[in-house]
Amino acid sequence: MKLSIVIVNWNTRGLLRDCLSSIYGSPLKERFEVIVVDNASTDGSQDLIKSDFPQVKLIANDQNLGFSRANNQAVRASKGEYVLLLNSDTVVSDEALGEMIRFMDEHPKAGAATCTLLLTDGVPQPFIYGEDPTLSYLVKRILRMLLKGRFMHDWRGAEVIETDWVTGACMMVRKKTIDEIGLLDENMFMYFEDNDWCYRMRKRGWKIYYCPFVQITHLCGRSADRPSRKEDYYKSLIYFYRKHYSLLARLVLRMLLVPYRWVLARRVSERVDVP
């Protein structure tokens, strides 16, 4: 088995149908499997899978276990050389899966990689890769947005980039890497679990890549449409600091969060709805 595609679903029945149709409609030659973990959806998602996609391995939870725990369920059951974490609100282009596999094959030190995620208007989605959220990085990010009205990174670039982390919305991970560093941290309900995973990979010598020549469509945020998601974001950020950084850094972060949230709420929401 070359590839295991892992999709966590929560009440995105129509989007999930489109995502699965794009996967099974792709001309991928390598053997692959699709594992969907449904977090207690009430919109008929499980019935859709059973009737229209019987080849999918369905793991049905009786409650919403969150992104990390649900992905870990599927990863444990996966058999592929590579594991692709993929949001249910994505549509895979014909060559995307094959190109991502080829890149990983050609870069044996790549622990994880992502591609360009295009919004419905064809504009690249922000925050698909980046630097670790150190204090200096967060300050630079605030100042860049306030003074220049720009993001820290240019997601329209054409060159392969080695980066600190890539998004869990579309992350291809080497199974050997997972066996070495362990699963996603289940203390994070959602957000920063991808950053934490990549951080741990890099600590063990693995490299993380952004591959702009591969593109898929992402209907951003629709698979994470829950009232508390912004609070989930900041809880996970604080947890990331508690896990990886000093007490002083954690105290300074608490002070930074007020202006940080204010800037993001006004700048980022103009382009795409993220925390």
Question: pLDDT digit string (tens) for 168-213?
Answer: 999 999 999 999 999 999 999 888 999 999 999 999 999 999 999 9
- The more confidently predicted of residues 225 and 3 is 3
Residue 129 within a domain: yes
Rounded alpha-carbon distances, angstroms, from residue 218 to 32, 39, 97, 133, 202: 21, 20, 15, 24, 26
Residue 33 lies in a domain: yes
Structure tokens at 204: 């063990």
The percentage of residues in the chain with a pLDDT greater than 70, rounded to a whole number, is 89
Is 224 a domain residue? yes
Identity of the residue numbered 40: A
Instruction: Report yes or no on 275 lying in a domain.
Output: no
For 40-69, give one letter per residue: b (16+ CB within 10 A) or e.
Answer: ebeeebbebbeeebeebbbbebeebbbbbb
- Based on the structure, what is the number of domains in the chain? 1
Asked if residue 52 belongs to a domain, the reply is yes
- Read off the pTM: 0.89
- 46-84 pLDDT, tens digit per residue, is 999 999 999 999 999 999 998 999 999 999 999 999 999
Across residues 87-107, what is the average pLDDT? 96
CATH number at residue 203: 3.90.550.10
Question: Is the confidence at residue 269, as pLDDT, over 60?
Answer: no
pLDDT average, residue stretch 222-231: 62
Q: Using CA atoms, how far apart are residues 6 and 171, in angstroms rounded to an integer?
A: 10
User: What tens digit of pLDDT does each residue of 114-167 get?
Assistant: 999 999 888 888 889 999 999 988 888 778 777 766 666 667 778 999 999 999
Per-residue model confidence (pLDDT) at position 271:
44
Q: How confident is the model at residue 256 (pLDDT cuts 50, 70, 90)?
A: confident
Characterize the bridge pairing of strands 32-39 and 3-9: parallel
Enclosing domain of residue 155? 3-270
Q: Is residue 168 part of a domain?
A: yes
